[in-house]
Structure 1
Amino acid sequence: MARYAIATEDKQARRKAILDAAKTLFLAGDGTLPSAGDIANASQLAKGTVYLYFRTKEEIFSALLAASLLDSLKELESVLSELKGRRADKVASFIASFVSIIESRPELLRLDAISYGVLEKNLEAETMLEVKREFIIALSHTASMIESVMKISAGRGVLLLMRTFAMTRGIWQASQPCDIDLLDEALALPVLQPVFHTELTEALNEYWRGALAS
């Protein structure tokens, strides 16, 4: 049993080293996916070892995205378990924590932006379905906690979360740097390139207050 435990720990450590190296390289790069060879070098593992854990580089980054999403949901559940007081206060605290969690994981939205066009198209169907299944289970659990804490009907929590993620994606994309030199000064308005943290917080507060009041 002891040898099996050590072997399992070694495998988990190698897998984590691969994902950590992939994240570091991706965030330092130009948005394209680093090669498996670069990830192997950065994780101080042989390229063949990397392929023992992941069949393709897309699978590596799909796993990284999945881990980031699942960890975010776990953090949100921790926040939800501590919420007290009026619903309005709970909503404000929840959204502030949500924005903070998203900002603490810069890889999440960058990988999400290429998930459909790059990652999923290069995944085996079985792998993609397993990733989605795990996410749906976790999302449903978090949604149930939202329904309990906010005292809303069953099914509303999933809608709130999915729409929250959709708004987050859109605002993040709108907030990305653009070449102001190519724009007429009269068009270079803050609305064309909002500050992500501020705009997301305000937009989600407006949405949640309206949704929960209806």
Structure 2
Amino acid sequence: MQIRATNPEDKELRREAILDTAEQLWLTHPERMCNVADIATAAGLAKGTVYLYFRSKEELFLGIHERHNATFFSRLKARAQHAPPMTIDDLFSIQRQFLLDFPAFLPVATLCHGLLERQIPLDIAFAFEQRTFTQLTEVVTALRDHFPQATQALMLQSYALLIGLWQLLRPTPLKELMKERSLLCACADDYLQMLEAALKSLWRGALTPEIH
């Protein structure tokens, strides 16, 4: 028998458990976006219970994406708030480990960008963007102790590279055919290596003082 969550702590634990279940289903079946009924069954909950926390499967996946973002931002802030001084290598070591720890991040992030424009109510999408903006501001403030030229624009450019390069290189039947017929360089197999090289070039350029 399902026990109703009544206090804030229990409700948060249940919300997290629903997100955990949905993320695991996504990793198990990445070819499709599971529905609320699938998630409820896997979590051992009634479908109506899931709807108490998320009004749609789209909002649920947005919750997964927001949780990923919060984890990445917290890792950056935690490192930035402690000595010794950060280097660019430290910055991208954190990012690399995050991508390895959360393999659902890239596909869910790509999915959610489409959902925000088409299938998420405007007030929900705005609230998500507002929370993300607040966290981003906190991260930039923390990073400026180590990288005085760090800006929100630089972080957004980094994010665009992160997602855009993955969309370009992610494994698909079409990409395999392109490599087979020499339309795609074999070096494209190492996304993390190419991403790190591109991001380091971006950051080194942004952090180098202009010479007039």
TM-score under structure 2 length normalisation: 0.87
| In structure 1, distance between residues paired with 2:63 and 2:126 | 12
CA 1:197 to 1:41, structure 2 compared with 1: closer, same or farther past 3 Å?
same
**1:207 aligned partner, one-letter code:** L
Deviation (angstroms), 1:66:
0.7
- Listed one character per residue, the Cα deviations across residues 91-128 of structure 1 (whole Å, up to 9, x for unaligned) are 11111212221332122211111223235422222211
Q: Does 1:198 align with 2:193?
A: yes
Partner of 2:32: 32
Secondary structure in structure 2 of the residue aligned to 1:59: helix
Deviation (angstroms), 1:182:
5.4
**1:197 aligned partner, one-letter code:** L
* Stretch of structure 1 that moved more, 156-165 or 15-24: 156-165
Higher helix share: 1
How many residue pairs get aligned? The number is 203
Secondary structure in structure 2 of the residue aligned to 1:82: coil
Identity of aligned residues (%): 27
Secondary structure in structure 2 of the residue aligned to 1:106: coil
| In structure 2, distance between residues paired with 1:212 and 1:50 | 46
Partner of 1:12: 12
Deviation (angstroms), 1:52:
1.0
CA 1:48 to 1:93, structure 2 compared with 1: closer, same or farther past 3 Å?
same
* Structure 1 contact 99–200 (Cα < 8 Å) conserved: no
Q: Does 1:157 align with 2:123?
A: no
* Structure 2 contact 179–185 (Cα < 8 Å) conserved: no
Aligned CA-pair RMSD? 2.1
Partner of 2:183: 187
Structure 2 unaligned runs (5+)? none
| In structure 2, distance between residues paired with 1:195 and 1:188 | 13
Superposed, which structure 2 residues align to 1:1-214 within 5 Å? 7-82=7-82, 84-85=84-85, 90-152=87-149, 156-179=150-173, 180-181=176-177, 185-191=181-187, 193-213=188-208, 214=210
